[in-house]
Amino acid sequence: MSKNTKIALAVLVSIMVWMLVLELTEVEETEFQNKTVQVIKTENPVALEKTK
């Protein structure tokens, strides 16, 4: 893999981890979190059940 591919993967993984952290912690409803949860709900119906 090229260096750029590894960097892209690392960024993607850290974003996914960050989204998971936001979902698991009771944080203030920020605009960013709302968008993140919206994306999770759209892509994964199971996550929708967990956020209720």
pLDDT, residue 50, reads 60
Reference 37, options 12, 17, 19, 15; nearest CA is 19
Q: pLDDT value at position 20?
A: 85
What is the tens place of the pLDDT at every residue in 14-37? 999 988 887 777 655 666 666 767
C-alpha angle 34-26-21 in degrees, rounded to nearest 5: 75
**Percent of the chain residues topping a pLDDT of 70:** 48
Q: What is the pTM of this model?
A: 0.41
Residue predicted with more confidence, 44 or 22: 22
* Residue 12 pLDDT exceeds 90: yes
